[in-house]
Amino acid sequence: MEAMDVRSRCEITLWGAPGSGKTTFLNALSIAAAQGEQSSQLIGLNDASAKAVTDGAHRIAVERLFPAATAAATEVDVALVATETERRRSWDGRRLNVDREVRIPLRIFDRPGGDFGRGAAARGVRGALLDQLAASDGIVYFFDAIREAAIGDAFEHLHGVLAQLSVRTGGARMQGRLPQRMAFCISKLDDERLVRAAVEQGLLTRAPHDPHGFPMVRVPELLYQSLSAASDCGGLVLPALGEYFAPVQIQIFATSSIGFYLDDGSQDWKAGELSNHWVDPDSGTAVIRGRVVPVNVLEPIMWLAGLENE
Ligand SMILES: Nc1nc2c(ncn2[C@@H]2O[C@H](COP(=O)(O)OP(=O)(O)OP(=O)(O)O)[C@@H](O)[C@H]2O)c(=O)[nH]1
Ligand SMILES: [Mg+2]
Cβ of residue 255 lying under 6 Å from some atom of ligand 1: no
Q: What residues does 5 pair with on adjacent strands?
A: 102
Cβ of residue 22 lying under 6 Å from some atom of ligand 1: yes
Q: How far is the CA of 20 from the centre of ligand 1 (A)?
A: 5
pLDDT tens digits, residue range 96-130?
Answer: 888 889 999 999 999 999 999 998 777 889 999 99
Question: Which atom from ligand 1 is nearest to the alpha carbon of 114?
Answer: 25
The whole-model pTM stands at 0.94
Q: Is the Cβ–Cβ distance between 258 and 35 less than 8 Å?
A: no
Whose atoms come closest to the Cα of 187: which ligand?
A: 1
What dihedral do alpha carbons 189, 78, 9, 2 form, nearest 10°? -90
For residues 60 and 56, what is the distance between their CA atoms, to the nearest angstrom? Answer: 7
Cβ of residue 190 lying under 6 Å from some atom of ligand 1: yes
75 phi and psi, to 5 degrees?
-140, 150
49 phi and psi, to 5 degrees?
-70, -40
Which amino acid residue places its CA nearest to atom 11 of ligand 1? 19
Q: What residues does 285 pair with on adjacent strands?
A: none
Distances (CA, A) of 30 to 39, 43, 77, 81: 11, 8, 13, 11
**Total residue length of the chain:** 310
Q: What is the DSSP letter of 80?
A: E
Distances (CA, A) of 232 to 147, 200, 240, 310: 13, 21, 14, 35
Cβ of residue 296 lying under 6 Å from some atom of ligand 1: no
Query: CATH class for domain 2-304?
Result: alpha beta
Q: Return the SS3 of 84.
A: strand
Whose atoms come closest to the Cα of 287: which ligand?
A: 1
What is the model's pLDDT at position 155? 95
Domain spans of the chain? Answer: 2-304
- The answer to whether the Cα torsion of 199, 156, 56, 297 is positive or negative is positive
What is the model's pLDDT at position 235? 94
Cβ of residue 20 lying under 6 Å from some atom of ligand 1: yes
The answer, yes or no, to whether residue 142 has pLDDT greater than 60, is yes
